[in-house]
Structure 1
Amino acid sequence: MSYDPRTAWESAYRSQTEIAYPAEGVIRIFKGRFPKLNLPTEHKGLSILDLGCGDGRHLPFFASLGFEVSAVEISDNLCESLQQKMSSISVPVDIRCGHAGNIPFDNGSFDRLLTWNSCYYMSAGEENFQDHVKEMARVIKPGGWIIASIPKKMSFIFNGSEPANSPGYRVIRDDYFGARNGEVMRCLENQVDLEESFCQEFEGFCHADIDMNWFGLAYHWHVFCARKKS
């Protein structure tokens, strides 16, 4: 049976009734001050897209910062459930079905785009990460910013994975959480590979790293912010 990302993630979220807290890294980026982070700190009245919003954990946080919030998830069922959750806690958000290779919003819709643990999933479209980069850039306004996290090749997510059809991609085979087995993911070689993958559309890269062993899981992630070229 072939891998169906929509069915896999609907199953993963089906029993989840509470919304998780926002990722610590996202809070630090949007509320912290760091010497090598050039992301503007004014948020009120700006638009933001949470691409691959999962259980919606970042949506109330963004609304509290004054953003006009939109989100994308991979199936209609997930989007409907998320819309109901957000309505129940009075968080205004426009949630639509799509993925990083097919974002259902107009050109230049957003001042900010968050892709936290999401843009490197390839099974919903073609095995071409550059299409994802171009599509994300398409919906960001000139001079707007992308905020992203992508697993490093030594992350637990790639444990037991196999080479995919194209170099730089891996098929997940031993996902600890059980939702990704069969998924094709972009596997970046290093930070240079990351910038080369995004530099045709973005500039002004600000880099950070998540590197920790969390009770037996190796959490190693590239984190970056970059400005869309004007």
Structure 2
Amino acid sequence: MAYQSDKAWDKLYLAQAEMAYPAEGVIRIFKGRFPELQMPRAHAGLSILDVGCGDGRHLPFFHGLGFSVSAVEITDAICEVLRTRMAGYGVPADIRTGHAGALPFDTASFDRLMTWNSCYYMSLGGMTFDDHVSEMARVLRPGGWIVASIPKKTSFIFRNSVPVEARPGYRVIMDDYFDGGRNGEIMRCMEDRADLEAAFAGEFDTFCHADLDMEWFGLAYHWHVFCARRKG
């Protein structure tokens, strides 16, 4: 049977009873102070969209920082679970069904957009990564900021993956460490930092780069991390 990302993620997230903690990198970006991070540190009163919010782990964190919080996940069932979960935490959040290539919000709706381990999944909608970048830029206000993490080509995610025929920069996951749940998923695989920046440069500027390079008990946790400003 062909890979179906919506069914794969339903199976994962609907089985989870608990929510994970926010990613350390996200906490550092929004609360830390770094010499090459130019994104403004004032958050109260701003709006943020979490694209591919997963189990919702970052939504209470953003609410605590003073953001007006919105989020998307790829199925109605996941979104319903997330609404119930956020209500239990006392977090008001506008949670809608969508993905990086089809965001159900008006143009220029947000001051910040985060796509943490999400925007490079390409199996929904038959779109290109350029479409994803354009759509994420569309819902950001001019001068707003994107915060993103994308696996490096050396990440364990791409172990034994294969290139997509006639689509340079895309690979099919073949050896997913987590019980094969993503096998068959098409992902955008960046050659290097320059490739990543070129992919976003049509819509964004003022790039601030970081790296996650951990050899974590036999898994290569290698990620590009960046923030960039929406042009205009």
Q: TM-score range by the shorter chain?
A: over 0.9
- Show structure 2 runs of 5+ residues with no match: none
1:2 corresponds to which residue?
2
1:202 corresponds to which residue?
204
- 1:223 maps to 2:198: no
- Could you state the TM-score of these two structures normalised by the residue count of structure 2? 0.98
Aligned residue identity for 1:225:
C
For residues 167-199 of structure 1, give each alpha carbon's deviation from its aligned partner in whole angstroms, at most 9, with x where no partner exists: 100000100012211100000000000110000
Structure 1 segment 51-90 matched on structure 2, within 5 A = 51-90=51-90
- 1:141 maps to 2:128: no
1:151 corresponds to which residue?
151
Aligned residue identity for 1:162:
V
Q: Is the 8 A contact 2:101 2:127 kept in 1?
A: no
- Could you state the TM-score of these two structures normalised by the residue count of structure 1? 0.99
Distance 2:106 2:5 in 1: 24
- Show structure 1 runs of 5+ residues with no match: none
Q: C-alpha displacement at 1:127, in angstroms? A: 4.3
For residues 101-127 of structure 1, give each alpha carbon's deviation from its aligned partner in whole angstroms, at most 9, with x where no partner exists: 000000000000000000000001224
Partner SS state of residue 94, structure 2: strand
Q: Is the 8 A contact 2:43 2:67 kept in 1?
A: yes
- 1:161 maps to 2:126: no
Partner SS state of residue 100, structure 1: coil
- 1:213 maps to 2:185: no
Report sequence identity in percent. Answer: 68
Q: C-alpha displacement at 1:212, in angstroms? A: 0.5
Q: Is the deviation greater in 158-167 or in 32-41?
A: 158-167
For residues 91-147 of structure 1, give each alpha carbon's deviation from its aligned partner in whole angstroms, at most 9, with x where no partner exists: 000000000100000000000000000000000122410000000000000000000
Alignment root-mean-square deviation, CA: 0.6
Q: C-alpha displacement at 1:13, in angstroms? A: 1.4
1:92 corresponds to which residue?
92
Q: Is the deviation greater in 48-57 or in 170-179?
A: 170-179
1:32 corresponds to which residue?
32
Q: C-alpha displacement at 1:85, in angstroms? A: 0.4
Q: Is the 8 A contact 2:14 2:81 kept in 1?
A: no
Q: C-alpha displacement at 1:218, in angstroms? A: 0.3
